[in-house]
Amino acid sequence: MKLIFATHNANKTAEIQQLLGDDFELLSLEDLSYHQDIPETANTLEGNSKIKADVVYDYFNLPCFADDTGLEVESLGGEPGVYSARYAGEEKNAQKNMDLLLNKLEGINNRRARFRTVITYKTKAGIHQFEGIVEGEIIDRKIGDYGFGYDPIFKPKGLDITFAQMSTEQKNQYSHRARAFEKLKAFLKKT
């Protein structure tokens, strides 16, 4: 089954293709030569995910899904949250985002955080949303060479390594995105 994934992010596409397996063929926006940036103007992950799915579905008129993910830090009132990708500015620079977050957490003992992903799946039959959450904490420095985004400073609860120290296979056993996509995969197999 072919599915459009409303993303330009090659890392994300590879991660999700591995999660969904051979039953599904993912087509990213890059694969489809769709180079427009879809504005994320909602103030929730659910809203941004739906905006992206709506735009892509309306353009291609094919089943598609979109996701939005946020890192929510307890002591910062849920920051960066929906603004995670552009926390340090519109250029969406992961290093600057991590540096800003680490600076804000300097001297703060409560470093509990969670990653939350919301997926919106859209077809002519309607819209379905799926959520995945992983609890953890923000460590005090970047460790690891894998992954993307905040992975080098996020350590999942119960583990002694960051997401950036895990292979894609390992990360998919724990990640928020994997949990949300497992729900999507189960839904797709039923339909």
Helix (H) or strand (E) holding 130: strand 126-138
Please count the other Cβ atoms lying within 10 Å of the Cβ belonging to residue 70.
Answer: 23
Total number of domains in the chain: 1
Residue of 58, 68, 99, 160 with catalytic role: 68
Q: Residue 6: which residues within 8 A CB-CB, separation 6 or more? A: 29, 38, 52, 53, 55, 56, 64, 65, 66
Which domain covers residue 86, as residue numbers?
2-190
Residue 185 to residue 191: CA distance in whole angstroms: 10
Query: Minimal CA–CA distance to 66: which of 133, 32, 16, 23?
Result: 16
Closest CA to 134 of 101, 159, 156, 150: 156
Main-chain dihedrals φ then ψ at residue 141, nearest 5 degrees: -155, 165
> In the annotation, is 68 catalytic?
yes
Per-residue pLDDT for the chain (191 aa), expressed as one digit of tens each? 889 999 988 878 887 888 888 888 899 999 999 999 898 899 999 999 999 999 999 999 999 999 999 999 999 999 999 999 999 998 889 999 999 999 999 999 999 999 999 999 999 999 999 999 999 999 999 999 988 899 999 999 999 999 999 998 898 889 898 899 999 999 998 87
Answer for the pair 138, 149: CB distance below 8 angstroms, yes or no: no
Q: What CATH number is given to the structural domain containing 57?
A: 3.90.950.10
pTM recorded for the entire structure: 0.90
